[in-house]
Amino acid sequence: MADAFIPPAKPIIGDDERAAVDRVLLSGMVAQGPEVAAFETEFAAHFVAGRTVVAVNSGTSGLHVGLLAAGVGVGDEVIVPSFTFAATANAVALTGATPVFVDIESDQFTVDPDAVEAAITPRTKGIMPVHLYGHPARMRELGAIAQKHGVLLFEDAAQAHGAALDGRAVGTFGAFGMFSLYPTKNMTSGEGGMVSFDDVELVRRAKLLRNQGMEKQYENELVGFNYRMTDIHAAIGRVQLAKVDAWTASRQANAAYLDANLAGVVTPPVAEGAVHVYHQYTVRVPDDRDGFVAALKNEHNVGAGVYYPVPNHRLPSLQGFAQNRELPETERAASEVVSLPVHPSLTDNDLERIVTAVNTVTEAGA
């Protein structure tokens, strides 16, 4: 095969990030300190203006801290999609609460508000939609449902830095919103997470939970973790923050090109009023998805990802929470989705190759 492999994702880490790390290493102070504080302020101003964010050492810890700060615990239920990465439901389960899985919509890949409302019980404490692939969930409807039933709204915005709905940024709708900084996400700090809050008391609890329950040293107020971000990671994140808007614009331009040129697959829907940041560019291939993925790779050297082939409610770890629920749209998506490369490192030639590969494979299969 003459053409180089086009990977489905490619973290961009350059000289600026290396210099920033070196600066922190040279300072001799590497644990949570001034870099983390600066990163929190800058991240909040950039993505969730008016909110305070708390930095932690992963997106998963961010969900855990957010849920605990909001008072979620044993005996509570939190409504979540099954069609997501396992961290969403894992964080709920680790608080002692029960993740209640609901179906997604038939076109969008985010939770169906009607299914959410139908799943509310006297034990429901919160609803945690996921802005999957970088597309905002139906926050208007979900907000109204949460208000009507007196439950909290949370946001798993792990994949959605900069996404918005009706001019409002994700991470500003819920009691908390979590952004992941894992290397394949739209920006990275190595590992890390950011949690936005609109309530000072929740911020205080989140900071306590992050640091063994201590605000003053050895005056521990509650039982907490060590979920601190290091200054090394924060320094990387601060450099990436200055670049992420250009990367997002590049993802969106790549997506527009694919939308205009792909044939034989269902291109990603974008809801009215939504800004999609294309963490993934996910198409549906109704017939023989796995054969399609194999042909892209074997015949065209184009990498594609399947997120996620097994819904959470059928994972060995989480199926105990599933209560024989039927989630037909979740099952259909799990069997049909393919994420094509959309990352900012793609060249024009790469994009042309992706289009040719997809259109050739779908034509051959038709």
Ligand X SMILES: *Cc1c(COP(=O)(O)O)cnc(C)c1O
Beta strands in 25-143 (DSSP E): 52-56, 77-81, 98-102, 124-127
The yes or no reply on residue 312 touching ligand X (CB under 6 A) is no
The yes or no reply on residue 188 touching ligand X (CB under 6 A) is no
How far is it, in rounded angstroms, from Cα 120 to Cα 263?
A: 40
Candidate residues 35, 47, 54, 59; the one interacting with ligand X per rule CB under 6 A: 59
Least separation, in Å, of the C-beta of 364 and ligand X? Answer: 32
Site string for ligand X, 323-362 (x = CB under 6 A): ----------------------------------------
Q: Give the Cβ contact number of residue 45 at 10 Å.
A: 13
Assign residue 309 a region: left if phi > 0, alpha if psi is -120 to 50, beta otherwise?
alpha
Using the minimum distance from each CB to ligand X, give the nearer residue, 84 or 339: 84
Kindly indicate which of the ranges 53-61, 164-172, 211-219, 329-337 contains the residues binding ligand X, using the contact rule CB under 6 A.
53-61
Site string for ligand X, 260-279 (x = CB under 6 A): --------------------
Window 240-259: residues binding ligand X (CB under 6 A): none
Kindly indicate which of the ranges 82-90, 227-235, 265-273, 344-352 contains the residues binding ligand X, using the contact rule CB under 6 A.
82-90
The yes or no reply on residue 92 touching ligand X (CB under 6 A) is no
Using the minimum distance from each CB to ligand X, give the nearer residue, 149 or 314: 314
Candidate residues 182, 227, 292, 321; the one interacting with ligand X per rule CB under 6 A: 182
Candidate residues 32, 159, 240, 280; the one interacting with ligand X per rule CB under 6 A: 159
Kindly indicate which of the ranges 84-92, 213-221, 236-244, 315-323 contains the residues binding ligand X, using the contact rule CB under 6 A.
84-92
How far is it, in rounded angstroms, from Cα 35 to Cα 24?
A: 8
The yes or no reply on residue 88 touching ligand X (CB under 6 A) is yes
Q: Do residues 215 and 189 make contact, with C-beta atoms less than 8 angstroms apart?
A: no
Q: Give the Cβ contact number of residue 287 at 10 Å.
A: 11
Using the minimum distance from each CB to ligand X, give the nearer residue, 65 or 262: 65
The yes or no reply on residue 158 touching ligand X (CB under 6 A) is yes
Tokens 């855990």 sit at which residue? 64
The yes or no reply on residue 155 touching ligand X (CB under 6 A) is no
Compute how many residues bind ligand X; rule: CB under 6 A: 14
Kindly indicate which of the ranges 36-44, 83-91, 216-224, 262-270 contains the residues binding ligand X, using the contact rule CB under 6 A.
83-91
Nearest Cα neighbor of 282 from 182, 358, 179 is: 358
Burial of 261 (0-12, 13-18, 19+ CB in 10 A): middle
Structure token pair of residue 18: 């290396």
The yes or no reply on residue 187 touching ligand X (CB under 6 A) is no
Q: Give the Cβ contact number of residue 199 at 10 Å.
A: 15
The yes or no reply on residue 109 touching ligand X (CB under 6 A) is no
How far is it, in rounded angstroms, from Cα 216 to Cα 96?
A: 28
Least separation, in Å, of the C-beta of 86 and ligand X? Answer: 8
Q: Give the Cβ contact number of residue 156 at 10 Å.
A: 31
The yes or no reply on residue 60 touching ligand X (CB under 6 A) is yes
Using the minimum distance from each CB to ligand X, give the nearer residue, 154 or 182: 182
Assign residue 133 a region: left if phi > 0, alpha if psi is -120 to 50, beta otherwise?
left
Identify the three-state secondary structure at position 102: strand
How far is it, in rounded angstroms, from Cα 220 to Cα 208?
A: 8
Window 115-154: residues binding ligand X (CB under 6 A): 130
How far is it, in rounded angstroms, from Cα 302 to Cα 285?
A: 16
How far is it, in rounded angstroms, from Cα 190 to Cα 188?
A: 5
Residues at the contact surface with ligand X, assessed by CB under 6 A: 58-60, 84-85, 87-88, 130, 156, 158-159, 180, 182, 193
